[in-house]
């Protein structure tokens, strides 16, 4: 979880390739060092956060250190709370929006 990321959820291109997922070029993202990463729209993926199933549209990118990065939109959309003290992500049970 990268609460500072403004990008949609990202999956590494390596993991996308291993899972035989391909996508169409959806633009690019500028890294802190100024390098540009190509982004590919691979569609909706299902995953579980703290045992709760969620679906998200993902972009793939040539990430070198992580398989998946969930940006700040993920906890906001699923009413999650980042607990930095315990390195955990909490979701309000029974949230009725």
Query: 91: which strand partners?
Result: 80
Cα distance between the two ends of the chain: 22
Pairwise CA distance, residues 24 & 53, whole Å: 26
Helices (H) and strands (E) in the chain, counts: 2, 7
Residue 73 confidence class, pLDDT cut points 50, 70, 90: low
When pLDDT is cut at 50, 70 and 90, the band that residue 1 belongs to is very low
For domain 10-91, which CATH number applies: 2.40.70, 1.10.1220, 1.20.120, 2.60.40?
2.40.70
pLDDT tens track for 13-53: 999 999 999 889 998 888 778 888 899 999 998 887 667 77
Report, as an integer, the average pLDDT of 71-82.
62
Any idea where the domains of the chain sit in the sequence?
A: 10-91
């Amino acid at each position: 979880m990268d609460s500072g990321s403004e990008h949609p959820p990202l999956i590494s291109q390596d993991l996308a390739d291993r899972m035989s997922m391909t996508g169409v070029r959806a633009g690019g993202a500028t890294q802190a060092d100024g390098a540009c990463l190509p982004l590919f729209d691979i569609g909706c993926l299902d995953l579980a956060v703290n045992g709760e199933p969620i679906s998200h549209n993902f972009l793939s990118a040539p990430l070198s250190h992580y398989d998946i990065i969930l940006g700040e939109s993920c906890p906001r959309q699923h009413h999650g709370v980042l607990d930095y003290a315990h390195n955990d992500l909490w979701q309000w049970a029974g949230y009725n929006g």
